[in-house]
Structures are given as C-alpha cells and as structure tokens.
Amino acid sequence: MVTELRQFLGEMKTYPGASDDLIARSEAELGMSLPGDYVEFLRITNGGVGSIGKCKYVIFWAVDELAPLNRDYQVQEYVPGFLVFGSSGGGEAYGFDTRRKGWPVVRITFVGLDWDEAIPMGESFAAFLKQLYEGEG
C-alpha cells in the first residue's frame, strides 16, 4: 500500500510523516478513527501541496489541522458527516463521507457547502489519489 500511495505523490511538496501518537491524538480530538489507507498516507507525509499526476493541484491538511479547520469552516453545521482533509486550492473541499461504509471521498465547493453538491471522487482514499493522478475529477 505504501508504494502505491507514494507513486501518486509525484512532484508534490511533502512533509515528514505523522507519528502514530500524533495520528492517535488527532483521532481522539475528531472522535473517530481514520481510514487505514489515509493513515498510511499520513505516515508518509503529514500534509502536502502540489500537483498529482496530470496537473491536478491539491492541498492536503496535516492530521493535527483536521479538527480545528473542520471546526473553523463549520463543516458539521452545513454538511454533517463530511470530514474535510484538503482542497483543490481553488474553492473545492476534498473529504470523507463518514456516513457511508468505507468513507468514500467526495468533492464539495467551500462556498455553499451542501451534500446536494457532492461529487464522488473515489470509494477510498487510495482510489481518490489514483483518480487525481489519472486526470479524472
């Protein structure tokens, strides 16, 4: 899984991976366990900025930013069950639909956060990275 995730990072600016302790503290603050493939990603890079594959720009938040930034954006007030982990850098939030089994990834615009505007981006975090890498979505 780690090799597969690394291949999608390409030219991104990555950061040192998150420790298991930091991930556990962040999960406790969120009140939920994060998906396994996303945790593996966080162990590789705790956030990142840049292009994936065919010029898909993305900003991944550090694990310790998840709870504070989701609170600041009032995500649960507008789209209960959505956990934002990053953005396109152009007004679109990427996050997990925690209401569904497996926590698929969706894209929703920050302006007017609404489930009716959600666009599926992958049935898992790894599938989401692959979709971006291949230039889809």
* pTM for this predicted structure: 0.92
User: CATH code at 123?
Assistant: 3.40.1580.10
Residues in the chain: 137
- What is the number of structural domains in the chain? 1
For residue 16, give its domain range: 2-133
pLDDT in tens, 65-118: 999 999 999 999 999 999 999 999 989 999 999 999 999 999 999 988 899 999
Q: Are 121 and 97 in contact (CB under 8 A)?
A: no
Helices (H), the chain: 2-9, 20-30, 36-44, 66-72, 75-78, 125-133
Burial (0-12, 13-18, 19+ Cβ within 10 Å), 14? middle
